[in-house]
Amino acid sequence: MLSTTIINSFKNLKILCIGDIMLDKFLYGEVDRISPEAPVPVFKITKEKSMLGGTGNVIANLASLRIKTMFIGAAGNDESCVMLERFLNETGCEYSLIKPENYPTTTKIRMIASNNHIVRADKETDLHLIPKEIEELKNFVDNALPKCHIVLLSDYKKGLLTQETTGMIIELCKKHNKKILVDPKEKDFSKYSGADIVKPNLKEFELVSGEKFDTGADDFKDKISFSARKVMKNYNISSLLITLSKDGMIYIPSDTEQESVYISAEAKEVFDVSGAGDTSLAVLGASIATGAYINDAMKLANLASGIVVGKLGTACVTPSELKNAIIADNAKGKLSQGLKIISADEAVEIASELKSQGKIIGFTNGCFDVMHLGHIHSFAGAKKECDYLFVGINSDKSVKHIKGEQFPLQDEKTRAYVAASLEFVDYVILFDEDTAVELVKKIKPDVIAKEGLSLQNWPEAQFVTSYGGKVVELERIEDYSTTSVLKKIDNLQKDGVLNV
């Protein structure tokens, strides 16, 4: 089962991206008439948006996943570069730019009406680095490599990654013992000789191999694996990961002793495929850098791509989106409630991510031994105060210490599953202490809510008050409690109505 642990490890990474950066501009508008000057539609602009493109979109995705980044590339001395640098600074990226004379920053302008691309206009010139600039590039790479965990090479065939410079970069990566993952655009893979993983799409691989492949054929995996190993042998590449669009992706190692790994893609409502490959590269590279198995890295990259193709324009994926996708994927055919039961450390990570998105985090806690209307009313009231409700539940050990060895009547797993089954509850955390104070100190909710307690007898709420959080004393529903339920059961036993 795919784990969110991989995503939690992203914050410990630093990834070096090298490649062709560009500025993506999106002009949104509407077309409702034909120009009187010529038989062409009139595009009325209603909104403009600019963002990092090319390798910049890889960086933006890494930053969105809370991963520290470095970037090395080329841009011009122009207004577009000023905007690029502003965007790079906003991501927190450490960057080094070569700025050749008379070289314009690559800019792509897309016009979009009613979620449809009307036209794309490009401003670009092929880059031709002179020896002095190649030496500058070498120094940038050599200085950055000791500080990174993995190198992502994003080739958009704009001139930075030539046969000479790519070979030089891969050689430096080997010298520093850094794994290198390449997103190629070149038909001649000799350029990527020595790379650990090269990630072409199917069309790109067909151009390199000189063969056509039917993804629906029974022998597709065998045929493409055989062809891939010939390509890897010819070009000294360790492995290929071929993306197959709607048909998923396949990883083929050069070692014939290892089997190929294939994963299918899920059907998605596609609005825009802009940048989906960049998202896949970012998530794949980050996952591999954490030490994840290749099949898990592929699944995560596949889920991330599925998220961004459902968005309009060049888009990024967030940790919470990716975690939710994992939960949905893992829940197929299983009890999804169990996936809402998390550890205290996971709760801290998730709460922090949600807070960064401006969400209000709520908290309540209890034993919840025999679930009744009073508990439901309490959860519903707490949920009204927040966007996400975290529920702390006393473990069996904790309940026994508080109430005695005969309790709880239901074990912690049962109690946690029942609470997680409620629509009001977003996450459940078990804790061993008598109170949830330590858990509250870790999560630091914006709101804490509970019925039946005043502030002076409520240590969790006292802590929340100390940092300016909101405390809500929920209205108690009378005649509903675990004690009253047990009393009714006891009376039924005494009357001979119930035999236990």
Active site residues: 278
Which residues are bridge partners to 243 per DSSP?
Answer: 201, 249
Which residues are bridge partners to 69 per DSSP?
Answer: 15
Which ranges in 102-219 belong to alpha helices (H)?
131-144, 163-175, 202-209
Distance in angstroms (rounded) separating the CA atoms of residues 242 and 222: 14
Q: What is the DSSP string of 46-109?
A: EEEEEEEEEHHHHHHHHHHTT-EEEEEEE--SSHHHHHHHHHHHHHT-EEEEE--TT-PPPEEE
Distance in angstroms (rounded) separating the CA atoms of residues 445 and 440: 7
Q: Which of 150, 149, 155, 151 is nearest to 183 (CA)?
A: 155
Distance in angstroms (rounded) separating the CA atoms of residues 47 and 28: 5
Residue with tokens 């655009």: 185
Sheet holding 261-263, edge to edge: 94-98, 68-74, 14-19, 150-154, 180-183, 197-198, 239-243, 249-253, 261-263
Q: Which of 414, 445, 420, 282 is nearest to 350 (CA)?
A: 445
Torsion angle defined by CA atoms of residues 65, 71, 73 and 78, in that order, rounded to the nearest 10 degrees: 80
Distance in angstroms (rounded) separating the CA atoms of residues 310 and 322: 13
Distance in angstroms (rounded) separating the CA atoms of residues 78 and 467: 47
Distance in angstroms (rounded) separating the CA atoms of residues 452 and 473: 7
